[in-house]
Amino acid sequence: MENFEFDEPKYFYLALILPILLVLFLINLYWQKKKQREFGDLELLKQLSPEKSTFKPVLKLVVVLLGLAALVLALVNPKIGTKMETVKRQGVDIVFAVDISKSMLAEDIAPNRLEKSKQVVSQIINQLGSDRIGIVGYAGSAYPVLPITTDYSVAKMYLQSMNTDMVSSQGTALGEALKLAGSYFDDPQTSKLIIMLSDGEDHGEGFEEALEEIKDKKIKVITVGIGTEKGGPIPLRHNGVIEGFKKDREGETVITKLYPETLKTIAKNASGGYVFGGNTKNVLDYVKNGLDNLEKTDFESQQIADFESQFQWFLGIAFFLLFLDVFFLERRTKWVRKLNLFNEEKK
């Protein structure tokens, strides 16, 4: 069974040139006929130029249009795949749990905690091989952002779209985040890892229960502390401009801090580890070491087609037709004239 795809479908837009050329040809033909009628009788004009063919201009146009159409197809580069291969991948399942509470807007780590988290996750994804990944966002509640996938480009797109408005309830529900992340893993035989990025502030209820579930499922957790223990205020922005800072009920500016002890407790109970997220390279090295210690398992087998480009055929046809057009003159061909195929001569 043959599979078919286009390598550069965006070039199909160039095909719009073809109907434009056809319209211009018809307009020019209409203008010529109109001027000929103004000049004199059409039959007399044909007698004055008996060698001029009425069919050759149409034939030349058809050849040019076919040549240009073949050139467009060459640019699109159709690919045909007939060879099917079975690809087995080895890796682990990883779920990134990213804190998107308002406290993550603090700028004690540049550019702010949330953007720093995105940078760290993106860099971790860059160093992965064939592992499957998923993303969870959480604040006062947990929110599924992306299910388990091997499409890293899509994962990065969803990652960059994450913001503090995705979850209405505020807080840092680490327990709910762990439960939701744990539900992502569908294969009991696959090594499982949760990478949790948070400032650890206000960890909410159900924390201990979630840890027990994680331990029972044999899921390891690496926690990444984002923020500083000195902390910083939470800026309130409008159109990108800081208009002030978040205040508590007494009107005092809220200072949000990193609470590493909470994150260390999670990592310790889930046979993982804690790393400070201020230095991206340190985080990458730590995660890499953690992944190296996990057993890789076969988790996916898929059929892929070995596609071969076919553009050269269309390119050859295009050049042949456009080259052929050069030798098409607008006067009648003698042997065709004798056959009178197009009824150009009245008997």
What CATH number is given to the structural domain containing 206?
A: 3.40.50.410
142 and 196 in a single domain? The answer is yes
When pLDDT is cut at 50, 70 and 90, the band that residue 309 belongs to is confident
Task: Give how far Cα 291 sits from Cα of 93, 123, 129, 297, Å.
Answer: 10, 14, 11, 12
Instruction: Taking residues 317-346, report their average pLDDT.
Output: 65
For the entire predicted model, the pTM comes to 0.62
Confidence of residue 196 (pLDDT cuts 50, 70, 90): very high
Q: Examine the domain organization and report whether 273 and 161 are in the same domain.
A: yes
115 and 218 share a domain?
A: yes
Name 219's Cβ contacts closer than 8 Å, sequence gap at least 6: 182, 185, 192, 193, 194, 270
The bridge status of strand 235-238 relative to strand 241-245 is antiparallel
281 and 316 belong to one structural domain: no
Number of domains, the chain = 2
Residues 130-154: what's their mean pLDDT? 91
CB neighbour class for 273 (10 Å; exposed up to 12, middle 13-18, buried from 19): middle
Mean pLDDT of the chain: 83
Angle between helices 56-76 and 17-39 (to 10 degrees): 170
- Residue 135 resides in a domain: yes
In a domain, 232, yes or no: yes
- For residue 346, is it within any domain? no
Name the β-bridge partners of 242: 237
The reply to whether 296 and 276 lie within a common domain is yes
Q: What percent of the chain has pLDDT over 70?
A: 81
Residue 222 shares a structural domain with residue 290: yes
Is there a single domain that holds both residue 136 and residue 114?
yes
CA 196 to chain CA centroid, nearest Å: 24
347 assigned to some structural domain: no
For residue 141, pLDDT over 70 is answered with yes
Residue 103 lies inside a defined structural domain of this protein = yes
pLDDT in tens, 205-262: 667 888 898 988 899 999 999 999 999 999 988 777 888 888 888 889 989 999 999 8
**Is the domain of 51 the same as that of 112?**
no
Q: What is the number of other CB atoms lying within 10 angstroms of the CB of residue 46?
A: 15
Residue 97 shares a structural domain with residue 154? yes
User: Do 168 and 218 reside in the same domain of the chain?
Assistant: yes
Q: How confident is the model over 23-42, as pLDDT tens digits?
A: 998 898 888 777 767 666 65
Q: What Å distances lie between residue 176 and 118, 148, 173, 227, 288, CA to CA? A: 20, 18, 5, 21, 26
Containing domain of residue 126, as a range? 87-301
- Mark whether 228 and 202 lie in a shared domain: yes
Shared-domain flag, residues 131 and 32: no
Residue type, 2: E
